[in-house]
Amino acid sequence: MKLPRDAHVETLVDRQRLRAVLVYGPDGGLAHERAVALVRHVAGSADDPFRVVELTVATLKDDPARLADEVAAQALTGGRRAVWIRDAGDALASGPLADLLDDDAPDRGGDTVVVVEAGDLPSRSSLRKLVEGAARAVAVGCYHDEARDVAGVIRDAMAKHGLSIAPDALRYLSEHMGGDRLVTRAELDKLALYMHGAAGERTIALEDALATVGDSAAIALDDVVSATADGRPADLERALGRALLDGESPVRVVRVCLQHFQRLHLAATRAASGSVADALGSARAPPCPTTRCAPRPCSTWRAPPRRRGASPTGPADGAADGRPRRAAARSSDGAARGAAWSGCWRAAPWCPARRASRA
């Protein structure tokens, strides 16, 4: 049968005396974490040499009878045993596992549980169909954590270390984690170690999260935006090279710069009209996850002259159709796009003008 991702498999193993459990999914870290938890529940420890045996698909291919022998074996120290098969695939479905899950097969294994750990298996996978169709086996999908799931993992992990976390730090960590559960756990352990080195600090602030847990691609893009807005071509060249090495596409780099300049343009326009507080608030909407995107460059950017019939917040008086506003928006977008392209292009090592200046 197939279980939801939040099902308590350990309880089901005890109640229905399951023969096998398949954990699979795109989140390999979560699948491994659940497999380890299940092995510990069955055998008491994940590394007990008498009650836990690990098999590979290659081993079962060379010796198909090995699985039946391990399932039928008894632990020297007593208790239940776990047979752990890692990196499984569809080839396992046509081997000894099918004989073990046959409803007519004799129950020679007693309380031994076979834990099968696999990667992302499609719905047409023969291994999934075998386990989901068996009466005494279950399959559990392990998918990437959502934001609320990541937040729960972060709170639980920090609580075990006696730490609390500020809301803005929790939001930042939730946005930059969740791709893989093992990676998330490793980053949280690093953060906890960092906090234990800070004497007397038991609450994780945003600065602590930024100092230890980072999204390298996001930080590189932030450096590109900051260097472009401040007119620092040397720093821009380094940041742009780092972003491209991290796999960012040039189109995304220009789009991020364009969005930043659009916010600066809106902030400068509102500041020119006297609404400074509104300008600073709009310049950071949506909120930036790092501290580098501060509205400091607003003071160095000047709003363009007011166009006839244009308004930074809405259509001009008497312009019910909004055409003047759209024309002004197109003009400001073009100016921002030109600034972004010009800043990134002139700092790039392949720029003809830059090569000429070096020569």
Taking only the tens place, the pLDDT of each residue in 14-24 is 888 888 999 99
Mean pLDDT computed over 187-204: 83
7-11, 93-97, 175-179, 314-318, range with the lowest pLDDT? 314-318
Summarize pLDDT for 26-39 with one digit per residue, the tens.
888 889 999 999 99
Amino acid 243: pLDDT: 77
How far apart, in whole angstroms, are the C-alpha atoms of residue 79 and residue 200? 45
Instruction: Check residue 300 and give left, alpha or beta (phi > 0: left; psi -120 to 50: alpha).
Output: alpha
Question: Residues near 135 by Cβ (< 8 Å), separated by ≥ 6?
Answer: 103
pTM recorded for the entire structure: 0.57
Q: Which band of pLDDT confidence, cut at 50, 70 and 90, is reported for residue 125? A: very high
Q: Which band of pLDDT confidence, cut at 50, 70 and 90, is reported for residue 156? A: very high
Amino acid 74: pLDDT: 87
How far apart, in whole angstroms, are the C-alpha atoms of residue 257 and residue 268? 16
The average confidence (pLDDT) of the chain is: 76
CA distances from 83 to 40, 48, 67, 128 (A): 11, 11, 8, 18
DSSP annotation of 351 reads -
Three-state secondary-structure class, residue 161: coil
Summarize pLDDT for 38-93 with one digit per residue, the tens.
999 999 999 899 999 999 988 998 998 999 899 988 888 888 999 999 989 888 88
Q: Could you tell me if 27 and 180 are in contact, meaning their C-beta atoms sit under 8 angstroms apart?
A: yes
Tokens 């309380």 locate to 111
| 198 or 55: which leads in pLDDT | 55
**CB crowding 105-118: b at 16 or more within 10 Å, else e:** eeeebeebbbbbbb
pLDDT beyond 70 at 102: yes
How far apart, in whole angstroms, are the C-alpha atoms of residue 169 and residue 156? 15
Summarize pLDDT for 299-353 with one digit per residue, the tens.
555 555 554 444 443 433 333 344 444 444 454 445 544 554 455 444 444 444 4
Amino acid 214: pLDDT: 62
Amino acid 277: pLDDT: 47
Q: What are phi and psi of 138, to 5 degrees?
A: -135, 155
CA distances from 230 to 222, 225, 243, 292, 347 (A): 12, 9, 18, 12, 12
Q: Which band of pLDDT confidence, cut at 50, 70 and 90, is reported for residue 3? A: confident
Three-state secondary-structure class, residue 94: helix
Amino acid 198: pLDDT: 66
Q: Could you tell me if 271 and 341 are in contact, meaning their C-beta atoms sit under 8 angstroms apart?
A: no
Tell me the two tokens of residue 93. 């479905």
How far apart, in whole angstroms, are the C-alpha atoms of residue 246 and residue 219? 11
Amino acid 287: pLDDT: 40
How far apart, in whole angstroms, are the C-alpha atoms of residue 229 and residue 223? 10
Q: Could you tell me if 228 and 338 are in contact, meaning their C-beta atoms sit under 8 angstroms apart?
A: no
Which amino acid is it at 254?
V
- Is the C-alpha dihedral spanning 60, 66, 72, 76 positive or negative? negative
pLDDT beyond 60 at 210: yes
Mean pLDDT computed over 126-154: 88
How far apart, in whole angstroms, are the C-alpha atoms of residue 246 and residue 216? 8
22-26, 131-135, 159-163, 338-342, range with the lowest pLDDT? 338-342
CA distances from 186 to 15, 36, 182 (A): 33, 16, 6
Q: Could you tell me if 213 and 249 are in contact, meaning their C-beta atoms sit under 8 angstroms apart?
A: no
Measured from the Cβ of residue 342, the count of other Cβ atoms closer than 10 Å reads: 12
pLDDT beyond 60 at 220: yes
Amino acid 323: pLDDT: 45
Which amino acid is it at 269?
T
| 327 or 219: which leads in pLDDT | 219
Summarize pLDDT for 236-258 with one digit per residue, the tens.
888 888 777 766 778 888 888 88
| 275 or 269: which leads in pLDDT | 269
